[in-house]
Structure 1
Amino acid sequence: MDYGVLANNILAGVGGKDNIGSAWHCATRLRFKLKDESKADTEKIENMDGVITVVKSAGQYQVVIGNNVARVFEPLADAIGLARDEAQSDNQEEKKKENIVNRFIGFISSVFTPFLGAMAGTGVLKGLLALFVTLGWLQESSGTYQIWYAAGDAFFYFLPVWLAFTAAAHLKVNQYVTAALAGALLYPNLITLLAGSKPITFFGLTVVGTTYSSSVIPILLAVWMLSYLQPILDKFFHDSVRNIFTPMVSLIIMVPVTLLVVGPLGTSVGTVLSSSVESVYRVAPYAAGAVMGALWQVFVIFGVHWTFVPVMTNNISQLGYDYLLPMLSVAVLSQSGAALGVFLKTKDAKMKSLAGSSVLTGVLGITEPAIYGVTLKLKRPFIFATIAGGIGGAIAGGGGAHANAFTLPSLLALPTYLGKGFTSVIIGLVVAFILSAVTTYLFGVPSQPKDSKADAKKTEEIQDDLVIAPVSGTIIPLESVKDEVFASGAMGKGIAIVPDDDQIVSPIVGTVAAVYPSKHAIGLISNGGVEVLIHVGIDTVQLNGKHFNQLVEQGQKVSVGTPLITFDRQAIQAAGYDPTVMVIITNTADYEITETQDTVANQNWLLQLKAL
């Protein structure tokens, strides 16, 4: 796949560079803050090869790519003039329009996303070292252990520095000044003084002896305060000295303010937060495990899972462990189990391939391909995975499982769960995975439509399918329509009709595979596996369903001639839109396609397909 082409297509689909307020990526998604979301062509993006789906959540426009998201982001970043490891600046006006919840979620995700992979990797390394010590392969006193432990622990020890850098990028303050501020909190001589028996003072004010290594909240609060101080200093100093004096005065003010006020306040908030989570957990560990195991992937779908990241990292900093991470691993494995159930049961080659690859990525902690491409798409597997995750989470939570280091919830994180409750999390993971796989296999995958004996005989004799005209009118070549995506064949081969009627009927015998809120298009799949997209009009998605009436539901069985959509073509034309109907075979690569030579559509065949 040419990721540069995909990046450019996505850029065009979201409305171009000028429509992007900010852009970054996480483990599987391109995340945008768009200035005008109505300019984004969601349907067009979702139909691109390499795109799993589009999600609109927490004020973000999220394009789910999967494991290759970084390879798509690189050319995208180049195209919009953005450093590949940073998020493009938010438009300040757009920020003001967002509600505080969306702004907070966006802030947390943009702060943690850039280094989440490094954090997870070093967390796994610490877990493996603990496993090696338990197995007697290494001694904690050995040089080998100490060197590897430094490699794994250094990231967490200096976490305030990384947080300062990414938070500064989001809040638009000098990143190197914030890094210096965080570095001052971790300065060895200062740490020694603060840990001593004799209190130290700053102009007579006592500095509270607090440890900032691995902390989260103090530095985030400090950078937030600096985001208000820096603009004031920039206005105060002349251009000729601003680059020197603004950083200097920022540190003169912010380091003592952080040590005297912000740091202790942030530490207290963190302590209260961690203690509250621990108190709830201790009162009802089974219930906490069931809720988190069942609902974690729901949180992921809505994008609110980022709010838990600072809680978990803060727990490890304050308590030395975290109860939530093992429960979340159970939720992850339940989705992988459901994907395995689909893989074993489905006869659809495309779904089998996607489900099979989703099992592997899921157990490694990346569940979006499984969720959006498989379980949520089929609905019942997602429900079974949720139930299995709740049961497995209750087992893990009730057994007191906890993580000693932060890493992505997955099988790779198992070494970080060594200690109290380790057996319970193993049992919870196994139960969740097997239960979701078995229930999905037995009850979660829709039965494949079975042809009648006559149909089977006909298929054996003819070995091709016919796509009948879904509306009467004038037949024109697809390449002549005034839409580059359809005319180029990027969506697949097909044909177009200039309609003289206002009703779309099914051109095949099969099932409604996809319907759209805008009601201007519908996806069908024939009993023989032909995937047909009927798209009414050009750019009519912008009508948001006006002048359209959808007559069928997703999953409904249809025959040739079953009414699907009614529309008012005259009103569509009056609104300035072309009502041409496109009939596209989206799995074109699977067939040899012959187009009709007729010029008039009237229940005659348009396309003849023969499986390759």
Structure 2
Amino acid sequence: MDANKLAKQILDLVGGDGNINAAWHCATRLRFTLKDVNKAKTEEIDNLDDVITVVQAGGQYQVVIGNDVGKVYDALVAIDSRLGEGQDDSTATADQPKSKWSIKGAFNGFVTFISGAFTPFLGAMAGAGILKGLLALFVALHWMTPKSGTYLIWYAAADGIFYFLPVVLAFTAAKQLKVNQFVSVAIAMALVYPTFSNTHLHLNFLSIPVQSATYTTTVIPILLVVVVQKFLEPLFDKFWHESVRNILTPLCLLMILVPLTLLIVGPISNAISAFLAGVVTILYKAVPALSGLVLGGLWEVFVIFGVHWAFAPVMMNNLQQFGYDPLMPILLPAVLSQAGAALGVFLKAKDDKMKGLAGSNVITAIFGITEPTVYGITLKLKKPFYCAVIGGGIGGAIVAFSGVHANVVGLASILSIPTFISKGLPLSLVGDAVAFILAAVLTYFFGGVNNKSTKDAAPKAATNDGETALMAPVKGIVLPLSDVNDQVFASEAMGKGIAIVPEDNVVTSPISGTISVAYPTGHAVGITGDDGVEVLLHLGIDTVNLNGEHFKMLVEKGQQVAASTPLIEFDYKAIKDSGYDNTVMMIITNSKDYDFHFSEDTQADNNDLIDVTPKAE
């Protein structure tokens, strides 16, 4: 992978740095908040060699790359250092009105904030969590005692990031909200100051009693404080002259926010924490198997939509309230079921490329990185994803029924099992195994891995008997050519074919061959197949009058293309709004040389629509 080249391509295709409010990354994805998502050329990004897929969820534009995402992000920052400064919604153009408040918008903003706050240190927290679990295992096996120097040193290494979690979160959350990160860190350090760790100490501030509380390992208090800082900091910046602003604004924030947190924010967050913990406990104890079934089965669905980060504060809060979390172990069957589905694809696939991709992703998913598996394999093939949902749900139900819990919260993977050391561990391991094996077996027998109708299966060109299959060039509704509102096409004067009412912005090649005609207006393209079939794709009726507006030709005359290669990008909605019929026609211009068999499919989505066979001489 050429990270620099890929970064430049992605930057250009998302609309340039002027279209980016913020950019950051997690374990596998570049995450953007864009000013205008319609400027992003999603299909072109999706077709880049080193991009797995593009996802839009939780108010974010996400480019899934895989384990090398960090290199690409670093290359992005090298191109434009502003992209390394965190999330920013203050750079929106003046002529771009802010959207009205809505529950959906507020939830998307919350998810974006939480994900941006947790993702930068997720790897460190996962590594520390695994070390903490291993130490618990060593003590259980009597290999080590909690009083030994080795244990104490390693425990400090493992527990440090959790103990001082408010400090770490203060830095990343402040970066998200574009406030002074070091003031946020100073506030967090005050909260974990040893004086306030003494719950038996009775304090007051200006004669107002301070509620006793411990803020180490907490999540909610510091996140609330940084949100408050977001509103107060600009006020002080405006009040103080620039000559003293850098000193007096932090002074005012520290003098106000630390007491405010201890007096108001802390008690409020404690009430929220107790409520969340109570709800989780009630649901988990009332119907543990159902909780496991839902969370184990749908966790990867939450990941797809980007809303899984909403669970992070809940799990961290459980850890702080009870000293353990019952939800974390349920996530492991969801992860292992994706690995099992990938194994089923590996064992069943006939396509060498898919087999190799699935084989490598079995290992990746087992160690907790499931995005490449989901977007590159199971979700693309659809049925394997459903098989994984079933496996994860049943496995999750077994794990929940076991009563096992996690002593730390981190990345769910096979390495996190030592953190689950508690009563019920043997049964939970059975649930993990069931999720993996069941997903693999279901995928192997019912996953439809080699179905020719599978969207991303290798397209066929010419068969041994000379038959050529023409794939749908665009997603949409299939119509007979006779229904087209143009007599030339409807009468088949130009040749036999089909028509499609488009539901996508990219037209792809239906066959492998050579571009014979590439109209500069972008409204039509001709392909001569490797076996001599001549195909004309005509986008809309009378759209030549648009003089190229709403069209972008992606290929040039003489270029070799494979089936499914993007040929033209067009805005089918804008074309219709301009008063033109946007129906796409696929015509075989040398029809007299062939016999035809038309598919009965009414929906076009990379499926074979026409089979042509040379006429006998």
TM-score > 0.5, shorter chain as reference = yes
Q: CA deviation at 1:90?
A: 2.7
Counterpart secondary structure, 1:323: coil
Q: Using the alignment, how far apart are the partners of 2:249 and 2:323 within structure 1?
A: 37
Is this contact kept in 1: 2:534–2:589, CA < 8 A? no
Q: Which residue of 1 aligns with 2:609?
A: none
Over 3 Å counting, the alpha-carbon distance change for 1:248 and 1:564 in structure 2 is same
Q: Residue type of the partner of 1:100?
A: A
Matched-pair identity in %: 49
Counterpart secondary structure, 2:369: coil
Over 3 Å counting, the alpha-carbon distance change for 1:95 and 1:275 in structure 2 is farther
| TM-score, length-scaled by structure 2 | 0.78
Q: Does 1:585 align with 2:589?
A: no
Is this contact kept in 1: 2:164–2:216, CA < 8 A? yes
Deviations 1:109-137 (A, max 9, x none): 11111111111111111001111111111
Q: Which residue of 1 aligns with 2:107?
A: 101
Over 3 Å counting, the alpha-carbon distance change for 1:21 and 1:272 in structure 2 is same
Q: Which residue of 2 aligns with 1:43?
A: 43
Q: Which residue of 2 aligns with 1:352?
A: 355
Is this contact kept in 1: 2:533–2:590, CA < 8 A? no
Counterpart secondary structure, 1:33: strand
Which residue of 304, 321, 324 corresponds with 1:321?
324
Over 3 Å counting, the alpha-carbon distance change for 1:502 and 1:329 in structure 2 is farther
Q: Does 1:522 align with 2:508?
A: yes
Is this contact kept in 1: 2:31–2:63, CA < 8 A? yes
Q: How many residues align?
A: 525
1:432-451 residue pairs with structure 2 within 5 A? 432-447=435-450
Q: Using the alignment, how far apart are the partners of 1:36 and 1:214 within structure 2?
A: 38
Is this contact kept in 2: 1:332–1:363, CA < 8 A? yes
Q: CA deviation at 1:351?
A: 0.9
1:203-602 residue pairs with structure 2 within 5 A? 203-447=206-450, 517-518=503-504, 520-522=506-508, 567-568=539-540, 570-571=542-543, 573-574=545-546, 576-577=548-549, 582=555, 585-586=561-562, 602=590
Q: CA deviation at 1:523?
A: 6.0
Q: Using the alignment, how far apart are the partners of 2:515 and 2:145 within structure 1?
A: 63
Q: Using the alignment, how far apart are the partners of 2:214 and 2:521 within structure 1?
A: 58
Over 3 Å counting, the alpha-carbon distance change for 1:188 and 1:434 in structure 2 is same
Over 3 Å counting, the alpha-carbon distance change for 1:56 and 1:502 in structure 2 is farther
| Long gaps (5+) in structure 1 | 460-464, 472-500, 506-514, 541-546, 549-558, 590-599, 606-612
Q: CA deviation at 1:567?
A: 2.9
Q: Which residue of 2 aligns with 1:65?
A: 65
Q: CA deviation at 1:226?
A: 1.3
Q: Does 1:139 align with 2:111?
A: no
Is this contact kept in 2: 1:365–1:409, CA < 8 A? yes
Q: CA deviation at 1:318?
A: 1.1
Q: CA deviation at 1:302?
A: 0.5
Q: CA deviation at 1:518?
A: 1.7
Over 3 Å counting, the alpha-carbon distance change for 1:156 and 1:572 in structure 2 is farther
Q: Residue type of the partner of 2:507?
A: A
1:70-81 residue pairs with structure 2 within 5 A? 70-81=70-81
Over 3 Å counting, the alpha-carbon distance change for 1:130 and 1:64 in structure 2 is same
Deviations 1:232-257 (A, max 9, x none): 11111111111111101110111111
Q: Using the alignment, how far apart are the partners of 2:121 and 2:521 within structure 1?
A: 39
Q: Using the alignment, how far apart are the partners of 2:406 and 2:514 within structure 1?
A: 48
Deviations 1:493-547 (A, max 9, x none): xxxxxxxx969x9xxxxxxxxx9842541365x8xxx79999997897xxxxxx9
Is this contact kept in 1: 2:508–2:564, CA < 8 A? no
Deviations 1:344-365 (A, max 9, x none): 1101111111111111110111
Q: Which residue of 1 aligns with 2:459?
A: none
Q: Does 1:90 align with 2:62?
A: no
Over 3 Å counting, the alpha-carbon distance change for 1:207 and 1:82 in structure 2 is same
Q: Using the alignment, how far apart are the partners of 2:464 and 2:348 within structure 1?
A: 25
Q: Using the alignment, how far apart are the partners of 1:533 and 1:264 within structure 2?
A: 69
Q: Which residue of 1 aligns with 2:577?
A: none
Query: RMSD across aligned C-alpha pairs, in angstroms?
Result: 3.5
Is this contact kept in 2: 1:329–1:410, CA < 8 A? yes
Q: Residue type of the partner of 2:136?
A: A
Q: Residue type of the partner of 1:567?
A: L
Over 3 Å counting, the alpha-carbon distance change for 1:246 and 1:323 in structure 2 is same
Over 3 Å counting, the alpha-carbon distance change for 1:534 and 1:130 in structure 2 is farther
Q: Using the alignment, how far apart are the partners of 2:89 and 2:521 within structure 1?
A: 28
Over 3 Å counting, the alpha-carbon distance change for 1:433 and 1:219 in structure 2 is same
Is this contact kept in 1: 2:374–2:385, CA < 8 A? yes
Q: Does 1:19 align with 2:5?
A: no
Is this contact kept in 1: 2:536–2:589, CA < 8 A? no
Over 3 Å counting, the alpha-carbon distance change for 1:588 and 1:309 in structure 2 is closer
Is this contact kept in 1: 2:139–2:145, CA < 8 A? yes
Deviations 1:269-315 (A, max 9, x none): 11111111111100000000000011001001111101011111111
Q: Using the alignment, how far apart are the partners of 2:39 and 2:233 within structure 1?
A: 35
Over 3 Å counting, the alpha-carbon distance change for 1:368 and 1:284 in structure 2 is same
Q: Using the alignment, how far apart are the partners of 1:373 and 1:341 within structure 2?
A: 14
| Long gaps (5+) in structure 2 | 454-461, 474-487, 493-500, 525-530, 566-587, 595-617
Is this contact kept in 2: 1:293–1:394, CA < 8 A? yes
Q: Does 1:149 align with 2:149?
A: no
Over 3 Å counting, the alpha-carbon distance change for 1:572 and 1:363 in structure 2 is farther
Is this contact kept in 2: 1:364–1:412, CA < 8 A? yes
Q: Using the alignment, how far apart are the partners of 1:165 and 1:534 within structure 2?
A: 57
Over 3 Å counting, the alpha-carbon distance change for 1:470 and 1:249 in structure 2 is closer
Deviations 1:193-243 (A, max 9, x none): xx22x5111111111110000000011111111111111111111111111
Q: Does 1:116 align with 2:122?
A: yes
Q: Which residue of 2 aligns with 1:31?
A: 31
Counterpart secondary structure, 1:32: strand
Is this contact kept in 2: 1:520–1:537, CA < 8 A? no
Is this contact kept in 2: 1:293–1:327, CA < 8 A? yes
Q: Which residue of 1 aligns with 2:9?
A: 9
Q: Residue type of the partner of 2:162?
A: F
Q: Using the alignment, how far apart are the partners of 1:468 and 1:166 within structure 2?
A: 51
Q: Using the alignment, how far apart are the partners of 1:309 and 1:185 within structure 2?
A: 21
Q: Using the alignment, how far apart are the partners of 1:401 and 1:227 within structure 2?
A: 40
Q: CA deviation at 1:469?
A: 13
Q: Residue type of the partner of 1:111?
A: A
Is this contact kept in 2: 1:54–1:64, CA < 8 A? yes
Q: Using the alignment, how far apart are the partners of 1:535 and 1:300 within structure 2?
A: 43
Q: Which residue of 2 aligns with 1:163?
A: 169
Counterpart secondary structure, 1:239: coil
Q: Which residue of 1 aligns with 2:571?
A: none
Counterpart secondary structure, 2:542: helix
